[in-house]
Structure 1
């Protein structure tokens, strides 16, 4: 047996062997995907070990206790050191029972408390006679247990447990509310070494580094653990995993949209000695946090909020200030992201009054500080829906993300600031997550708020925002509407129709300013691609006038990148009354799909081929083309194929050979990047059959 010293306790040679029955225990605890050689178990559920004596004399089970210790300074007072007399309950509901004993062979059953601290434990056998003899039996790792009714992460639905704890693959939704796109993601919570990386992440949080004893004491609480993970996934305040960057250049790191899974990110952070990985954006932060929490046993899912508000000053209102051309003047720092991704984790909230258990919002993307650090949550989804903004954690910020009102102001050249529009139904649309057990989208908007515009929804917004009730705007005499397609294929021209409506009985003489801007998905303007001005458009009383124009694809081709929108803005001003009206339209530029065709039936350990098909949608050639292929249980690591050129409108077909190494549902993921066309995604679901007889 191993010989070691810990404080004043001697670890002695023993005349028996210990069989931790790792494979059997891990199978029963649903951790077999992590390891068959290390003992990894879940709290509130028993596991077994066997002691086999080398001699005829065996230790009397009435004279020993089992000791389980975690943390740098284990303490019985703090619950990080557990002493268990055999066949009797220990402190905190741990239990050790002799299942069978033959004199030279003893089978023990040990059941950790459903409220035990998670993490790495040393297991030893101690004499009860007051001496310092301590026989090390081995080590085990203890995780949360959503299958145990007494555990605070218990989830009473097996299909949901399979989806939100066990599923290593998923789908993340991006795009815009009118053009929702999906991208495959490999969470990989059971991949080699990922559990160790997650434990290292916990040991490197600021509270643990400053006082590990206090940190380890709180590791039984999923509220504490999940909030810690929310902080540690970004690197703003600590030795966290990812550095965020929302615009080029991405020199020295990986572009956020080039990541297809969490394993490469977590592995790089670990290999770099806990130094930050470059770069992440919201879906990357959320997906990595999902991996860590699923690995630790907390049911977690990735959620996308479209038209997501970022309320920087906490007034539950998003203020946008434009000049007379409709150009964004920045305002107070508020913004509306065309999408934002966070996670929900399932847990009881014993720190709150009853009624707020269940899904909790956690957001590791660094936006605003919470208690002095960049993290967000856990915020009960039920509290967000009811507008209970005084509960913890960070409910006002999440409430604004899904239900803030947007107020648009015009800053006139003469110094006037005119309120143009109050939009009450724009923020928080099509809140989405992957449907449980299926590869399609589930809309969970109703979980976050009552039906938009309903009496309940308006009353809750009003109650939550007593400081900023808006004065209703009077009906406007001048209106502007911008009409264009909701989305266009990349490489297409943009056709725009602007309608100016005069709802008065007198003729108006309008000047019209129009601009088109490339917008980052976080609501920030990146580049203006068009600007047009029209003088003295005559609009008769109670009539409309239309202005039609076109933006050629060449105007945006050099600037459009991942998740960018094109915002069209038209602002009309009556030169007589100086009445203004603003109209906007967001449109998505859609990359082509990558088509993946399987050439045969996927069978375990049998080579097969797939064909990858991509058509260049642009009127120019694509250069520096790279296809990256990944797939858990299909391809080891990443497979890259480089193509020098794909001509205008040319269709390219590539064949890929691979050998499935794991049976069951699998996902083949393909990413394409070039100098002019980036982040083209495709994936193919398949079911790998076992050996055919």
Structure 2
């Protein structure tokens, strides 16, 4: 907006006009009870509006970690970049005062799939013509590049989309938090189920025979945002936190956008409410169903297994007023804000409410399981291993019948992208054996470090998989588990954690190369509001087991508690991060 002030006296017609020569931004006011984004518990605005550094939880269930992110919503580039985003979208001036419309627009424009939005998404590991998602330290360099070039920035993934969304929302005065859903469903056909299909030879199909437009998937984790506002377009009780998702997964009203979706509507299964409730219900509470080819079944596939508890294992955000640079004390579990406790009657009733509202889901949930089960199988979960360690797949079998059971089984392990897409097969074994009556057996497959080290992909996530069929009863069982190969963190060292304002301070970043191969194209990124602004530091190639270390200087500009965030990426190794908190003091105080 432009500001013009006209002054004059009542006794004269003379008027003086003052033209303010800088842009004026009119923001939402969450401290004002008449604003739709008003947050009654004002103290939480210190986190959801004012905090310019936070954490985003990434990684599989069992080994997730808080990844530091510099939101930087007070940086000089943020509001102009937001205005550029709005203007590119054709979003009307009158709509910009509506947080429902504005946040839906933000979920569309942070990705580049429509209207030249801010970030290009990429998940295949090939980032040579841009910046690898794992290399970003925060939102400011992304928004600076977008503002400078007026073109979409390469590249982002879900937590990057979410970090940028948080920055824009907080800058505009809309309370926002980052939300991470561990074991997140991507339901492509509104069935409220994640469906995996197998042929008669127990081989998993790489397509969905009931959905030619795509197949369901399970992401190890997925990150989106909650924004806080009243919802006058919905019945009473559905205001408060609303989910929006800027990652381009599925279209809504013809474009890649999602939300705002009332968390209470998700929890109740109110799929008729605006916006995208069915998709969000599936993301956090879909059933995992396995189907095996059967010419006698109505769908051509019989349902052999249904796991009601796998999806949405934990939903996390950063706890207000706390930042833990060395652990997860600042992690807050908000699962029960999205759904009732798993296994309770309320949780099942809510999901069935959603199923009844979707014809596309009813056909899947009306099929009974075709199982005569007298053998129990249990795949032993793995949470994480250190890079270079061996691991094994273990399946415990319990024959509860009074007869011998003959079993055919396949065990395998693969590296996977965090979206659940398989990358490289590491090892596979299959065979047949018998289990005596009323007895137990154990299947094992050992995988050595040399089997997997050259097959890891970004974020070092692995999948173990088992499938077995009992010859006598035709019972088929399958299960899988994802875990992470853990890498080192960046150690950030300074002469003291208490440093003076406006005086140079030496900062040292270091870690040890955990791989048995040379690291090339090495680069650190360093950022911290009021400390150091988006600094890139190159490093020579590093041999196996070698020390990776750089030194740099920074000059603190603002007193108070501050946070430094660092990342490292090489051609052979990425997603190495670290952070430290420092207290900046002013000698004159």
TM-score if structure 2 supplies the norm length? Answer: 0.90
Aligned to 2:458: 562
The farther-off stretch of 252-261 and 573-582 is 573-582
Aligned to 1:598: 494
Q: Per the alignment, do residues 327 and 528 of structure 1 end up closer, same or farther by CA in structure 2, a change over 3 Å counting? A: farther
Aligned to 1:267: 144
Given candidates 293, 299, 302, the residue that maps to 2:175 is 299
Residue 326 of structure 1 deviates from its aligned partner by 4.9
**What residue ranges of structure 1 are gaps of 5+ in the alignment?**
1-37, 41-48, 52-57, 65-125, 128-132, 209-214
Given candidates 400, 408, 412, the residue that maps to 2:282 is 400
Aligned to 1:198: 82
Q: Per the alignment, do residues 61 and 349 of structure 1 end up closer, same or farther by CA in structure 2, a change over 3 Å counting? A: farther
| Contact in 2 for aligned 1:561/1:678 (Cα 8 Å) | no
Deviations 1:438-470 (A, max 9, x none): 121111111011111101111111121122435
| Contact in 2 for aligned 1:513/1:532 (Cα 8 Å) | yes
Aligned to 2:326: none
| Contact in 2 for aligned 1:518/1:529 (Cα 8 Å) | yes
Given candidates 444, 456, 481, the residue that maps to 2:346 is 456
Residue 158 of structure 1 deviates from its aligned partner by 3.1
* DSSP 3-state at the match of 2:500: coil
Aligned to 1:613: 510
Distance in 1 between residues matched to 2:20 and 2:573, nearest whole Å: 57
Given candidates 224, 232, 257, the residue that maps to 1:342 is 224
Q: How does 1:401-416 map to 2 (within 5 A)?
A: 401-411=283-293
Q: Per the alignment, do residues 653 and 271 of structure 1 end up closer, same or farther by CA in structure 2, a change over 3 Å counting? A: closer
Distance in 2 between residues matched to 1:545 and 1:148, nearest whole Å: 65
The higher relative CO (CA closer than 8 Å, separation ≥ 6) is in 2
Aligned to 2:188: 312
Residue 577 of structure 1 deviates from its aligned partner by 4.4
Q: What is the Cα-based RMSD across aligned positions, in Å?
A: 2.6
| Contact in 2 for aligned 1:484/1:494 (Cα 8 Å) | no
Distance in 2 between residues matched to 1:460 and 1:555, nearest whole Å: 45
* DSSP 3-state at the match of 1:384: helix
Deviations 1:474-521 (A, max 9, x none): 562233322253111122112222223322221122222112122211
| Contact in 2 for aligned 1:326/1:515 (Cα 8 Å) | no
Residue 624 of structure 1 deviates from its aligned partner by 3.7
Q: Per the alignment, do residues 63 and 190 of structure 1 end up closer, same or farther by CA in structure 2, a change over 3 Å counting? A: farther
Q: Per the alignment, do residues 63 and 366 of structure 1 end up closer, same or farther by CA in structure 2, a change over 3 Å counting? A: farther
Aligned to 2:581: 685
The answer to whether structure 1 residue 589 and structure 2 residue 538 are counterparts is: no
Q: How does 1:544-693 map to 2 (within 5 A)?
A: 544-600=440-496, 601-648=498-545, 650-691=546-587
Given candidates 286, 294, 299, the residue that maps to 2:162 is 286
* DSSP 3-state at the match of 1:548: strand
Distance in 1 between residues matched to 2:177 and 2:249, nearest whole Å: 20
| Contact in 2 for aligned 1:231/1:364 (Cα 8 Å) | yes
The answer to whether structure 1 residue 435 and structure 2 residue 283 are counterparts is: no
Aligned to 1:181: 65
TM-score if structure 1 supplies the norm length? Answer: 0.77
* DSSP 3-state at the match of 2:572: coil
Larger radius of gyration: 1
Q: Per the alignment, do residues 177 and 676 of structure 1 end up closer, same or farther by CA in structure 2, a change over 3 Å counting? A: same
| Contact in 2 for aligned 1:326/1:514 (Cα 8 Å) | no
Aligned to 1:371: 253
Distance in 2 between residues matched to 1:652 and 1:205, nearest whole Å: 44
Residue 384 of structure 1 deviates from its aligned partner by 0.9
Residue 391 of structure 1 deviates from its aligned partner by 0.6
| Contact in 1 for aligned 2:377/2:396 (Cα 8 Å) | yes
* DSSP 3-state at the match of 2:144: helix
Residue 159 of structure 1 deviates from its aligned partner by 2.5
Deviations 1:69-104 (A, max 9, x none): xxxxxxxxxxxxxxxxxxxxxxxxxxxxxxxxxxxx
* DSSP 3-state at the match of 1:457: helix
Aligned to 2:386: 489
Given candidates 465, 483, 497, the residue that maps to 2:355 is 465
Distance in 2 between residues matched to 1:134 and 1:598, nearest whole Å: 53
Aligned to 2:8: 59
The answer to whether structure 1 residue 246 and structure 2 residue 123 are counterparts is: yes
The answer to whether structure 1 residue 383 and structure 2 residue 265 are counterparts is: yes
The farther-off stretch of 186-195 and 472-481 is 472-481
| Contact in 1 for aligned 2:393/2:445 (Cα 8 Å) | yes
Residue 414 of structure 1 deviates from its aligned partner by 12
Distance in 2 between residues matched to 1:678 and 1:288, nearest whole Å: 21
Residue 50 of structure 1 deviates from its aligned partner by 8.6
Deviations 1:306-335 (A, max 9, x none): 111111111211111235455452324111
